[in-house]
Amino acid sequence: MSRVYNFSAGPAVLPEEVLKEAAEEMLDYRGTGMSVMEMSHRSKAYETIIKEAEADLRDLLNIPDNYKVLFLQGGASQQFAMIPMNLMKNKVADYIVTGQWAKKAYQEAGMYGKANKIASSEDKTFSYIPDLSNLEISEDADYVYICENNTIYGTKFKELPDTKGKPLVSDVSSCFLSEPMDVTKYGMIYGGVQKNIGPAGVVICIIREDLITEDVLPGTPTMLRYKIHADNESLYNTPPAYGIYICGKVFKWIKKMGGLQAMKEYNEKKAKVLYDFLDSSKLFKGTVVPKDRSLMNVPFVTGNDELDAKFVKEAKAAGFENLKGHRSVGGMRASIYNAMPIEGVEKLVEFMKKFEEENA
Ligand SMILES: *Cc1c(COP(=O)(O)O)cnc(C)c1O
């Protein structure tokens, strides 16, 4: 068996320890004589799995009691519709558009009500976070929406916008559990788990209770109502049971690693190795305004498409997978999520140095 350094933006690298444990439990989960995949979601064993996963997540993020935690399906993209369907009571919401995912969410919301683009960084290919000092929050906005870490462009909100009292809704798919968060600053936090937590197919929503009501847009399907899932503790129907089980293992792994503060310090150390090199390199350069750089997704270019392609190809041959940038931006992107060991980043930088010498 040989494992590569996987720099994929998602589905992405998971802790090896978690994968091994899941492998050991594959045929017989703790004496039940079956895999978690084969188990009733109403069984005692599964109840323990989902309850422990929620408790560990609450512990890690310090989630207050007046927030519900929901394990849902449909990926992050389904939330682009679920959020307006459930939260747009006045049919107005403000969106800060800092990348493709925020833009998709903004466009989707426009199908259900008035979505206002109150700030954007599209003028410079989303390479920065717009000025948040004086946002025109709409008087009757039901919420203000951000995508906190821009997976494709590699920017991150280092501070949150002043929403003037409106609930803040944040897509944290690609920075989930990469550092501590103050949950009380948000009305809702959500993320697809395949970037930093588990297998694709699960989306986790953390929602302040007062935002979960029966008062949803007419025609909202039962399966798309937060209240149904909250009242049934994510077991209204069959949840993505195996995926939640893996998420639970990752939560325990993060706790063992020292929790979110330790994760943040490790992630800063890792990202610094790569950014320091990019800042000193004559060939490679980062594409993001330094103060807005993400710790998770690091896009870079040589400035020459042929050389970029050559780099991606040679890197792959050397065991560094999935470094090709998103199809919408080109160049390269290294996603260095929680489970990417620092050795992976150090070896990538060594490889980049060698490539730079050979192609000077
Ligand atoms: C990947 C990603 C999405 C889309 O996730 P799906 O689960 O594929 O729907 C949305 N937002 C962000 C920030 C992402 O990184």
Quote the pTM value.
Answer: 0.98
Check whether domain 16-256 has CATH 1.20.1530.20, yes or no: no
CATH number corresponding to 258-359: 3.90.1150.10
Average pLDDT over residues 317-328: 94
Asked whether 312 and 240 are in contact (CB, 8 A), the reply is: no
Tokens representing 99 are 């990348």
Ligand 1 probe mutation, 8, 96, 101, most atoms within 8 A of CB: 101
Q: What's residue 165's pLDDT?
A: 97
Q: Which atom of ligand 1 is nearest to the CA of 152?
A: 15
CA dist., res. 114 & res. 122, Å (int): 20
Q: Answer yes or no: 195 catalytic.
A: yes
CA dist., res. 187 & res. 178, Å (int): 20
Tokens representing 4 are 């590569």
What letters, b where the CB count within 10 A reaches 16 and e where it falls short, cover 232-258? ebbebeebbbbbbbbbbbbbbbbeeee
pLDDT digits (tens, 9 = 90+) for 284-299: 999 999 999 999 999 9
Distance 32 CA to ligand 1 centre (A): 35
pLDDT digits (tens, 9 = 90+) for 202-242: 999 999 999 999 999 999 999 999 999 999 999 999 999 99
Distance 31 CA to ligand 1 centre (A): 36
Catalytic residue among 166, 195, 252, 270: 195
Distance 173 CA to ligand 1 centre (A): 6
H or E element at residue 52 = helix 44-61
Domain chopping of the chain, boundaries = 16-256, 258-359
Say which residue the tokens 């040589």 belong to: 302
Q: Which atom of ligand 1 is nearest to the CA of 149?
A: 13
- The answer for residues whose C-beta is within 8 angstroms of residue 247's C-beta and 6 or more apart is 53, 57, 71, 193, 197, 198, 202, 204
Asked whether 196 and 175 are in contact (CB, 8 A), the reply is: yes
Tokens representing 339 are 């489970």
pLDDT digits (tens, 9 = 90+) for 17-75: 999 999 999 999 999 999 999 999 999 999 999 999 999 999 999 999 999 999 999 99
Average pLDDT over residues 313-331: 94
Calculate helix-pair angle for 44-61, 241-256, nearest 10 degrees: 40
Q: Which atom of ligand 1 is nearest to the CA of 99?
A: 13
Catalytic residue among 56, 171, 292, 308: 171
Q: Whose CA is nearest to atom 12 of ligand 1?
A: 173
Distance 10 CA to ligand 1 centre (A): 8
Q: Answer yes or no: 253 catalytic.
A: no
pLDDT digits (tens, 9 = 90+) for 327-356: 878 899 999 999 999 999 999 999 999 999
CA dist 14 → 3, 183, 273 (Å):
12, 24, 21
Asked whether 321 and 313 are in contact (CB, 8 A), the reply is: no
Backbone angles phi, psi at 286, to 5 degrees: -70, 155
Q: Answer yes or no: 270 catalytic.
A: no
Are domains 16-256 and 258-359 of this chain identical in fold? no
DSSP-assigned states of every residue in 177-227 = TSS---GGG-SEEEEETTTTTS-TT-EEEEEEGGG--S---TT--GGG-HH
